[in-house]
Amino acid sequence: MYTQTIAEKIKQRRRQMLVHSYLYYNKDVNIVSDAKWSQWAMELVKLQAEYPEESKRVEFADMFADWDGSSGAFLKFGEDIISCAERLYESSQKVKEKPKLVKPLVKKSKSNSIPLF
């Protein structure tokens, strides 16, 4: 079984904060609930406080240095985050598009309602 390192978990949470903040503030879309986002944010804040040295070495360290987890409104979005967010958005839209069921064309006889093929 694979277990993430602290640095990997910090990176994952930072990228989630960035991607989902981009979607929320730039696309007006919530793919995860506010409660889930807040849970991830508080986990990231806790990890950064408990592991400051690891935190400093992980991608986006400067952006998240004084971040308190209350909002993603002032985070900066690079091209890689925007691209990832757009792909996630497109995927979420495809999941929402469910195929429409088409009723088969079946003629029924008047006498016994048995389909005629």
The string of DSSP letters for 34-98 reads HHHHHHHHHHHHHHHHH-HHHHHHSTTHHHHTT--SS--TT----HHHHHHHHHHHHHHHHHH-P
**Tens of pLDDT along 31-82?**
999 999 999 999 999 999 999 999 999 999 999 999 999 999 999 999 999 9
The answer to whether residue 33 is domain-embedded is yes
- Is residue 76 within 8 Å of residue 21, measured between CB atoms? no
The answer to whether residue 71 is domain-embedded is yes
pLDDT of 92 strictly over 90: no
The answer to whether residue 68 is domain-embedded is yes
The answer to whether residue 45 is domain-embedded is yes
Boundaries of domain holding 38: 6-96
Number of domains in the chain: 1
pTM of this prediction? 0.79
The answer to whether residue 117 is domain-embedded is no
The answer to whether residue 61 is domain-embedded is yes
pLDDT category, 102, cuts 50, 70, 90? low
Q: Which residue has the higher pLDDT, 106 or 117?
A: 106
The answer to whether residue 30 is domain-embedded is yes
Average pLDDT over residues 76-100: 86
The answer to whether residue 115 is domain-embedded is no
